[in-house]
Structure formats: C-alpha cells, structure tokens
Structure 1
C-alpha cells in the first residue's frame, strides 16, 4: 500500500475536487480585486482619446484578465493548498487518513496530480491566450488607447543599437523597408560612451541605407547649441532586418515562435541570454504550480489542537512566497547574463523541490 500513491479512488476524487474548487475561488477573488485596482489607475488614460467609452474599458478588462490569471495562478494554487490542508487538519481528516495507513506522500498525491493538470492547462493557456492578449494590449498602449493601426507589427518602447550609437522610438509600425518609427531620439556617442549629439524627431523612415528623420532638432552637447534641420539620415548600418530582430517582444510570442527568434539571433551573433532564459521559464513557470502542494504540506500535519496549526500555515506560506522571490531574482540574473539561462529558469524549481521533500520526509515520513 505504501507504494500505491492512489490507494482509494473515492478519496482521490474527494481531495482533487476540494482542491480545484478552492483554486478557482482564490483565483477569482485575486483577479477581481487586482482588476479593480488596475482599472482605478488605467480608466482615465483609456477614456482620454475622443470616442472611447465603456466598450474600450471592457476591451481593456478582456485583455488584462488573461495576464492576471497567468501571473497569479501559482499564488492561487499555494493559497488553495494551505486552505485545503488546514481544513482537512482541523476536521481530523488527515489523522483519519494516516490511521488508515496512508503516508504523507499518499495524502498529498491527489493534490500533486491536480497541480500537474493545472500546470499543463496553464502552459496551454499562456501559449494560446496570454501571448496574444499581451501583444494586443502593448500595441494598444503604444497608441495611447487610440485606434490600433491595421498593421499588426506595431511595437512600443523600441531600443536599437547601431555600433556605439543608440536609436530609440516610442512606437514602431510595419516590417522590412516599410518600418516607420514615431517619436524618435538618436544618440551619437563617443567611443567611451559619452553622448556627443542628441537628435529628436517625430518620425523616421528607411532611407536605404540609414533612417531619415523628419524635421529633426539636433542638440550638440559640446557647444550646447540647438539646431533645427529639414531632415537628417542616421544609423546607416542599421538595416530593417536588424530592427525586426532587435524590436522583438518575447512576451507576445509563443513558445515555438520564441525558439525561432532565438535561432535567428544566434545566427547573426546577437546576445540571446535574456530570450533563452524567458524561453526556459515558459516551461518552469507553469510547473511551479506542482511545487505548491509540496511546499504547503507542512500545514497538513501535526495535531490541530496543539496550537501550532497557524504557525505551520505561516511556514508553508513563507516557503511558497520564498520560491517566487528566488525565481524572479534568478530570472533577472539570467536576463543580465549573471546565470546561464537554463540554470536561471530551473534552479529555483529544483532547489525548492528538494527543500519541500526534505521538510516533508524529515517531519512526517
């Protein structure tokens, strides 16, 4: 019986159903509260363009909710784990299961199985819904919640490098030679990184080679003089193909599209640490739901009347939130090149998997 992790079909369904109901309840509560708080700050900007109204607010809600679900689903699994296990402990159901011969791992097995199903659903939801919502929302924000151009290539906050110089744009529309940059700033820098000239323009188009700035205003740092020009061509070595790659938004691409982008970056010798870390995290992120029953399991055991149940629940919550802190820190380090991308994405998962197993075995098994 000790090697059979699901000795009772009835018990497995009972625990899985209880767990799923609590996950959904916590997730709905978190999303509603966070969506309401988000609308308090975003509604004014959404209604600023002429003609925007309730339909645009509902559109914003429809785009933001998938992102909130994706981000807070692991938190919901953690909180649902604690609520489920504390309830079972208080009702002496854990004592009854252990008296029937079930080990701690057998008690948690239905929750782990449910969490694994949630992880698979989360991955599919991220790929099919969240990436598209992310791309659409960023495009809408780039035009300040106005009409989105029919060209789906619109991107915002573009940062491009041309050797030692930098070209930035608030928005980018189109692809290839039809690219148009809006609210452009060109920084001409000396070899040491010191800015020599700063040029601002409302738009820029491809001049073949280079990028033609329309009615630019040039500021010379050395002489502190400002000069208005009819046009100016800059970044002659920056091609449309390079811009298409440099302006990629990994959050708006699916798992397979991001893999193709990474291959394209590597083919031209560009740095891919940040993209590869996010690519690996597309797998390890949803799997974090699988850790939550294990990290929160400390709340399941120990007699409720001993007075330590609340302390155990706090410990479980602390372990769960510690994972999210370490995971975000490791991902940031991987993006900056401090950790190898694979290690940045997977090290927190395996570290806390070992921590959860160690705590469970040493205290309960």
Structure 2
C-alpha cells in the first residue's frame, strides 16, 4: 500500500507541475497574439488577467497528456537517480508491478482531465465568448471595423458582423439557404436579428431568390426566422477552439440542438470525452521503459528516449485518427479508440519483454587461429 501511494503521489505531483509549465508556456504564446486586442478595447491589466483565467482550462486540457508523459518519465528518472528502482527489483518488483503501483496516480489524472474536458473548459469558454461579445459592443460604439463571423446551421450558412446582449442580438446578418445538394437557393440580408422567447426575429430583412423559376425575385423577410440556432451556438462560433460539452454533443446527435458541423464530428466528440482521459494511462504505460535507466551507464539513456518517442508517437497517431473520425473518413469509435488500443497493446508488449528478459546479444566467436608446426 505504501509502495503504491509513494509512486502514485510522485507521479501525480510531477505530472501536474509539468502540465502547468507547458500550459503557462502556451499561455504566453497565446497572449502574444491577443494581448494587443485586449488592451485596445480598454480592458487593461485586469482584462488580461481575466482572459488568462478563462483561457487556462482549455490550455490545461491540451497540455495534460504531454504533462503526464513528462511526469512519468521524471518519476522513473528520480527513482533511478536515488537507486530506488534497484531496491524495488531486489525486492522482487517487476516493471508491471511498478506500473500497477502508479495506476492510482494515473486514475487521479484521468478524473482531473475528465473534469476539465466536460465541466470546466466549456463553461470557461462560454464566459470568454460573452467577453468577446462585449468587445464587439465597445468596437461598435467606437466605430471600429466589424469582424464577420460565419457558422453553419443545418444546411444554411449564416454570417453576422456585430454581437450584443449576450449573443441575443445580431447585426448585419446574412443567411444563405441551401438545398440538399449544397446549392445556394436564396439569400436573406437583415439589418438585425433578435432572440426573444425562444425564436429569432428579423428586421430590415430582404430575401433574394436564386432558384430558376424565381431568379432574382426580391421580397421582404421581416418577421420570425425559422431556425434551430440559439445564442449558445453564436457564442460557440465566436471562439474558434470552443469545446462542446458531452451534454451539448448528445443533444445535437439526438436532433435537439443545432449542428454546426457534420454529424460524425459530434459522434466522435462524444467518444473522445471518454477516450481522451484514458490516453493518460497509456502515456504512463509507454513511459515504463524508462525504468531501465541507470545513471552509471550512459547507454541506458536510450530507454528514456524510447519512452519519449513512444509517447510522442501516440499523440501523433491518436490525433490523426481522431481527425479522421471528426471528418467522417472513419467510424467515430474507430477514430476515438483505435490509437489507444494500438498503443496499449504495444506498451504491454514492451513491459512483457522487459520482465521476461531481452534476448542477449550474440557474442562474436573468436577467429580461428592456425598453429604453426614446430620445426623438426
């Protein structure tokens, strides 16, 4: 019990520290791009601090997998540095038993990652989107150039220039209706769209038909706009990396909420809510070859390099398969879980080979020597 608690606590602490360092580096790079806009809107230093607080959960979600790998490598390196791994092996502890002892710490990281993905990050990004709408309002008051935002609502494509009242009021709205063949059939241009009592109302709107029978016919489009779009969809469109919660994704799949992307995107997203945290355990599994590290033998550092390359390879392959699932090229379950299953098998095979013993290298035979005959 003490053995597992010691390894798990060490893993958890080092992984959290590594994740925070990676997230802060990403935060600095993000501020380089956005600090100027925040200061231009007159928010000053308090606005930057608020932006950091709202942006940090998303950066932690992205940084935690790599932070877990670095934390596991540092844990094993620290144990090797203090000769604790030698003592563990002398006590009969195998590499797999060390991984099992570190598993509670990995599960704690899984819980932390799941909470960030499904609870903290979506709420923080929603608040950040509201801040963006407030900047739109101030930009409108100052007469600055508007920034057009685009989103897809079912088959239609919608754009707007200004957002206010927590995304319940849109200005300079353009709606492009499309048929099932993705061909635009009409365009509606409205000065304003307001959301009241669960529906949008257009004002100053004009519809232009582009169908063959009624080509270029114009008509008034003032009144109720029949759409499934909600202010929450508008807020999500304002943040390019907006993270959709599990509840929202399930509503989209069930047809209760507006899809802003193809259906496989949301189906893969639901699978990734469960699969992504499990990837942290795979990271710890792939780091176990570092337990062969011996500070007295420089050649043993290759085991640390193998573990690092295995973890980075997992991030690459898993991300590639997830992208294929999001775009509908492969099934959502395959895109979300295939990389995890593949590298789990690879990691377990590596541990089995380490515990079973690697094949000894062949010792070259000494060259045959021809004995000279003694003189008679």
Q: Which of the residues 292, 309, 316 maps onto 1:318?
A: 309
Q: Which of the residues 16, 19, 34 maps onto 1:27?
A: 19
Q: Runs of 5+ in structure 2 lacking a partner?
A: 140-148, 211-217, 357-376
Task: Sort the Cα spacing of 1:309 and 1:200 in 2 relative to 1 into closer, same or farther, 3 A.
Answer: farther
1:160 aligns with 2:160: no
Q: Which of the residues 170, 181, 190 maps onto 1:181?
A: 170
Q: Work out the CA distance in 2 between the residues paired with 1:288 and 1:45.
A: 36
1:356 aligns with 2:343: no
Q: Work out the CA distance in 2 between the residues paired with 1:193 and 1:19.
A: 51
Residues 203-227 of structure 1: CA deviation (Å, up to 9, x unaligned): 3458xx9974637798x9xxxxxxx
Task: Sort the Cα spacing of 1:232 and 1:20 in 2 relative to 1 into closer, same or farther, 3 A.
Answer: same
Q: Which of the residues 223, 226, 234 maps onto 1:239?
A: 226
Q: Work out the CA distance in 2 between the residues paired with 1:125 and 1:246.
A: 19
Using the TM superposition, give the Cα deviation of residue 195 of structure 1 relative to its aligned residue in structure 2, in angstroms: 6.2
Aligned residue for 2:229, secondary structure, equals helix
Where do 1:259-270 residues align within 5 Å? 259-264=250-255
Q: Work out the CA distance in 2 between the residues paired with 1:28 and 1:131.
A: 19
Task: Sort the Cα spacing of 1:92 and 1:11 in 2 relative to 1 into closer, same or farther, 3 A.
Answer: same
8 Å Cα contact 2:193/2:201 also seen in 1:
yes
Q: Which of the residues 59, 64, 72 maps onto 2:63?
A: 72
- Which residue of the partner structure matches residue 8 of structure 2? 16
Task: Sort the Cα spacing of 1:322 and 1:298 in 2 relative to 1 into closer, same or farther, 3 A.
Answer: same
- Which residue of the partner structure matches residue 96 of structure 1? 87
1:81 aligns with 2:72: yes
Task: Sort the Cα spacing of 1:284 and 1:174 in 2 relative to 1 into closer, same or farther, 3 A.
Answer: farther
TM-score by length of structure 2 reads 0.74
Using the TM superposition, give the Cα deviation of residue 234 of structure 1 relative to its aligned residue in structure 2, in angstroms: 9.1
Q: Work out the CA distance in 2 between the residues paired with 1:44 and 1:167.
A: 28
Q: CA-atom RMSD, angstroms?
A: 4.0
**What is the count of residue pairs matched by the alignment?**
336
Task: Sort the Cα spacing of 1:267 and 1:83 in 2 relative to 1 into closer, same or farther, 3 A.
Answer: closer
TM-score by length of structure 1 reads 0.77
Using the TM superposition, give the Cα deviation of residue 303 of structure 1 relative to its aligned residue in structure 2, in angstroms: 3.9
1:282 aligns with 2:273: yes
Task: Sort the Cα spacing of 1:93 and 1:320 in 2 relative to 1 into closer, same or farther, 3 A.
Answer: same
Using the TM superposition, give the Cα deviation of residue 201 of structure 1 relative to its aligned residue in structure 2, in angstroms: 5.4
